[in-house]
Structure 1
Amino acid sequence: MKSKCLAASLCVAALALSGCASKYVEPEQYSGFLKDYSVLKQGKSASGTEVLYWLDDGLDAKRYTRVYIEPSRLYPQPPPSEKISQDTLRDITRYYDQALQRELAKVLPLAAQPGPGTLVVRPAITAVEASDKDLRPYEYLPLMFVAAQVSSATGIRDQQTRLASEAAFLDGGSRRTVAEVVRKGTGKDLENDAQTMHAQDVKAVLDGWAVDMTRSLQMLRQR
């Protein structure tokens, strides 16, 4: 009987691990910001990070001489909370704008408005959260699982900060969508559920996304 119970516990652990292992945004987590999610496919960004993306077969990135970056937005707009304040939400989009402008300007001059010969970047932050860290493999063993659940219930368990993003890239002349990307990232850990989240906790994620976007554009222009 004990062996059967252990086997059942290990099966539950394996299922739980597989559920936590996905590095892609799941379809049920799509925000509705993009027009068509059916064209997305799994791949890796310029840095090797897992993303969902789509590129128009006829995309010729060399034809663009400028880049126009629309202000990033929170979509859908989340309500502020004690954990994530309105100031934090504002600071996240503000910093993402700065990171995108800083990095993309290394490839193309920034345009003041969209137009012919301009690549339009339309970014959105589609999820901002701070929640209990995923259980590590050893924590799925029965006794450790109970201990982990207790720490979560009492609010002493470390929490992870997470973001998700969707972005569309448009031809500035025709306004036709030429590329899309969906991805997520994990920021700094919070010590417990009483610690509030700040933009500083996810700046490395936003910087990484901006750098990745820039490298991808460079690679497309070199094709």
Structure 2
Amino acid sequence: MKHKIVGVLELTLGLTLAACAPIKQAQDVETSGFLQDYSALREGKAGEALKIYIDPNYPQLCETYDKVLIEPIGIWVKENSDLADVSPSERQNLVNHLHGSLVSELGKYYQVVKTPQPGTLRIRTAITEAEGSVVALDTMSSFLPHSLVISKIKETATGTATFVGRASGEVEVIDAMTGERIAAAVDAIVGTKSVFGVTSKWDDVNRAFDDWSYRLAYRLVNCGAIAPEQE
């Protein structure tokens, strides 16, 4: 039995960041094509992702899930995107950081598995940019054992400031056995150019990934509860 934390019901990937945080939610976001079907998504409210879908039956079904299958994460970029010019090693650091964050946060509550099993949530995620996107097939995260995640997500990425300051992401949560969509979200964050405590030019993007992972895990395990702000 999973230990739950009491909260307000609402399942989203959205951000409600503290005022002092070096990142904040963007005002808008464009879809990339990663999710394929966006027809059921609605505009997010305060504290939610910018675009979201939630299965209305999830609060009644959430306790039937005790495992997660996290698919490899890819990067979808426009041909003229700044991110397209980032080195392969830097792109790899980005997908690995997001994947590591998801494994770390979801692994607190669920068994992380590699194959579909009864009671498994399949998590599909991509780092995205809008319009004419194509998946960068040479940049896909790999499965990391939970024991290695903590050290992996603390690695410092190096590189230029071309992508720092903004990150867009899309996520879809599916029943791994039936293929039924449970939730989907599209969101974007922007940096606030804070220099306090910055050790890498990718810090604001990595903070966004960590925050998304924390909120997604919290809301899934708590049947839709909005996550409290991290201190």
- Structure 1-normalised TM-score? 0.63
Q: Is 1:206 equivalent to 2:209 in the alignment?
A: yes
Q: 1:176 aligns with which of 157, 173, 180?
A: 180
Q: What does 1:12-31 align with in structure 2 at a 5 Å threshold?
A: 23-25=27-29, 29-31=30-32
Q: Which SS does the other structure have where 1:94 is aligned?
A: helix
CA spacing shift, 1:93–1:100, aligned 2, 3 Å: same
Paired with 2:216 and 2:99, the residues of 1 have a C-alpha distance of: 13
Q: Is 1:187 equivalent to 2:188 in the alignment?
A: no
Paired with 1:50 and 1:119, the residues of 2 have a C-alpha distance of: 20
Q: Deviations over 1:109-156 (max 9, x none)?
A: 11122222100000000039xxxxxxxxxxxxxxxxxxxxxxxxxxxx
Q: Deviations over 1:193-221 (max 9, x none)?
A: xxxx8544411111111111112112317
Q: Which SS does the other structure have where 1:75 is aligned?
A: strand
Displacement of 1:63 after TM fit? 1.1
The structure carrying a bigger helix percent of its residues is 1
Alignment size in residue pairs: 163
CA spacing shift, 1:160–1:92, aligned 2, 3 Å: closer
One-letter code aligned to 1:98: G
Displacement of 1:42 after TM fit? 2.3
Aligned twin of 1:126: 128
Paired with 1:77 and 1:94, the residues of 2 have a C-alpha distance of: 21
Paired with 2:84 and 2:113, the residues of 1 have a C-alpha distance of: 38
Q: Which SS does the other structure have where 1:208 is aligned?
A: helix
Q: Which SS does the other structure have where 2:34 is aligned?
A: coil
One-letter code aligned to 1:176: E
Displacement of 1:102 after TM fit? 0.3
Aligned twin of 1:52: 51
Aligned twin of 1:42: 43
Aligned twin of 2:221: 218
CA spacing shift, 1:207–1:36, aligned 2, 3 Å: same
Aligned twin of 1:7: none
Displacement of 1:72 after TM fit? 1.1
Displacement of 1:92 after TM fit? 0.6
CA spacing shift, 1:31–1:64, aligned 2, 3 Å: same
One-letter code aligned to 2:89: D
Paired with 2:82 and 2:126, the residues of 1 have a C-alpha distance of: 17
Displacement of 1:82 after TM fit? 9.0
Displacement of 1:177 after TM fit? 1.7
Q: Which has the higher contact order (CA 8 A, sep 6+)?
A: 2
Paired with 1:81 and 1:43, the residues of 2 have a C-alpha distance of: 26
Aligned twin of 2:150: none
Root-mean-square deviation (CA, aligned residues, Å) is: 3.2
One-letter code aligned to 2:177: G
- Greater CA radius of gyration, 1 or 2? 1
Displacement of 1:100 after TM fit? 0.4
Once structures 1 and 2 are overlaid, which stretch shifts more, 177-186 or 84-93? 84-93
CA spacing shift, 1:85–1:164, aligned 2, 3 Å: same
- Structure 2-normalised TM-score? 0.61
Aligned twin of 2:160: none
Paired with 1:120 and 1:62, the residues of 2 have a C-alpha distance of: 15
Unaligned runs of 5+ in 2: 1-24, 131-162, 226-231
Paired with 2:202 and 2:31, the residues of 1 have a C-alpha distance of: 22
Q: 2:86 aligns with which of 84, 87, 90?
A: 84
Q: What does 1:28-177 align with in structure 2 at a 5 Å threshold?
A: 29-44=30-45, 48=47, 50-59=49-58, 60-76=61-77, 84-127=86-129, 161-177=165-181
Asked whether the equivalents of residues 165 and 205 of structure 2 are also in contact (C-alpha less than 8 Å), the reply is yes
Paired with 1:221 and 1:76, the residues of 2 have a C-alpha distance of: 30
